[in-house]
Amino acid sequence: MNYRYTRRYAGQLQAVIFDWAGTVVDFGSFAPTQVLLDAFGGFGVDIDMAEARVPMGLAKWDHIRALGDMPQIAARWHAKYGRGMSNGDVDAVYEAFMPLQVARVGQYSQLIPGALDAIAALRAQGIKIGSCSGYPRVVMDALLPIALDRGYAPDCTIATDDLAAGGRPGPWMALENVIRLGISDVAACVKVDDTVPGIAEGLAAGMWTVGLSASGNEVGLSYEEWAALSPPEQAARRAPAEAKLDAAGAHFVIDSIADLPAVIAEIDARLARGERP
């Protein structure tokens, strides 16, 4: 007997699952990057901001491991210690990184302009708000009350070490949001992120994906620095970020969360036509 499942979800969106730094808070994604510079510096190995941004979106242990594997950083580590960076060294840098990140995450985590209005517009449509992060639970436990005090309280938050399966670029954190929020179909979800691993996470979970160029890791400027640029200067900084997120497979790429409501309307229209992510 042959059986073919043909039902297509054609309802409205039910959930938007947001990343944190560079997406809803921390325009330019400085909290993780600046602390990584300081953590490596504590071991006598300097890295720069551009290097720290390359593996952004991964769980922080994996992020440190990826930095240690970059040829130029590996060479500096070898010059300092006479050997490559071992997993034990990664553990040591991670252990130095964590208390710094917990202590300073609030310093960098102001809400991105337009975030509260965009989220309010989603809630007015009955859309649930999920979230997940490359931050571990101990950092999220420090960040959540700060975000609440600033007006942001997602319905679900999954940290990168909450699940045995792991974090990005796998689909597990996004899918855990689906479970906890009680969403009936992954096609009714949108994953919003400023990094390539975050877009990969949403695609692996079968969701619509929206990449954020200007507010995130790829442009890497503060809001004040971004706003001070002329339109041609903004276009020049935006273009490579858009290209990278587009190449990662994002269904849409926009500047920031402030531009999201129009995209949500377009996705709803595409779902009504029977389209899937």
Which of 17-26, 57-66, 180-189, 235-244 has the least mean pLDDT?
A: 57-66
- The answer to whether residue 100 sits within a structural domain is yes
CB 116 within 8 A of CB 152: yes
- Angle separating helix axes 87-108 and 31-41, nearest 10 degrees: 140
169 pLDDT more than 70:
yes
Q: Does 133 share its domain with 255?
A: yes
* pLDDT bracket for residue 252 (50, 70, 90): very high
Q: Does 21 share its domain with 42?
A: no
248 pLDDT more than 80:
yes
267 pLDDT more than 90:
yes
6 pLDDT more than 80:
no
User: What total number of domains does the chain contain?
Assistant: 2
Structural domain boundaries, residue 103: 32-108
- CATH number of the domain within which 178 lies: 3.40.50.1000
The verdict on whether 19 is a catalytic residue reads yes
1 pLDDT more than 50:
no
Q: Does 117 share its domain with 188?
A: yes
pLDDT of residue 32: 86
5 pLDDT more than 70:
no
- The answer to whether residue 183 sits within a structural domain is yes
- The answer to whether residue 92 sits within a structural domain is yes
- Final residue in a domain of this structure, among 45, 73, 108: 108
* pLDDT bracket for residue 57 (50, 70, 90): confident
116 pLDDT more than 90:
yes
Type of residue at 45: V
The verdict on whether 117 is a catalytic residue reads no
Average pLDDT over residues 42-52: 95
Q: Does 138 share its domain with 265?
A: yes
Nearest Cα to 201, choosing from 147, 162, 160, 141?
160
- Final residue in a domain of this structure, among 57, 86, 108: 108
Q: Does 187 share its domain with 198?
A: yes
Q: Does 80 share its domain with 211?
A: no
Q: Does 176 share its domain with 191?
A: yes
Q: Considering the entire predicted model, what is its pTM?
A: 0.90
- Final residue in a domain of this structure, among 108, 130, 164: 108
CB 77 within 8 A of CB 84: yes
Listed in sequence order, the DSSP H helices in 70-204 are 71-81, 87-108, 115-124, 137-149, 172-181, 196-204
Segment 199-229, tens digit of pLDDT: 999 999 999 999 999 999 999 999 999 999 9
pLDDT of residue 166: 87
Give the containing element (helix H, strand E) for 210. Answer: strand 208-212
Percent of the chain whose predicted confidence (pLDDT) is above 70:
97
Average pLDDT, the chain: 95
Q: Does 118 share its domain with 230?
A: yes
Q: Does 172 share its domain with 259?
A: yes
- The answer to whether residue 54 sits within a structural domain is yes
Type of residue at 192: V
Q: Does 36 share its domain with 76?
A: yes
* pLDDT bracket for residue 3 (50, 70, 90): very low
Segment 59-100, tens digit of pLDDT: 899 999 999 999 999 999 999 999 999 999 999 999 999 999
Which tokens hold the place of 7?
A: 């039902």
- The answer to whether residue 62 sits within a structural domain is yes
pLDDT of residue 100: 92
pLDDT of residue 244: 96
- The answer to whether residue 145 sits within a structural domain is yes
Which class for 270: exposed (0-12), middle (13-18), buried (19 or more C-beta within 10 A)?
Answer: middle
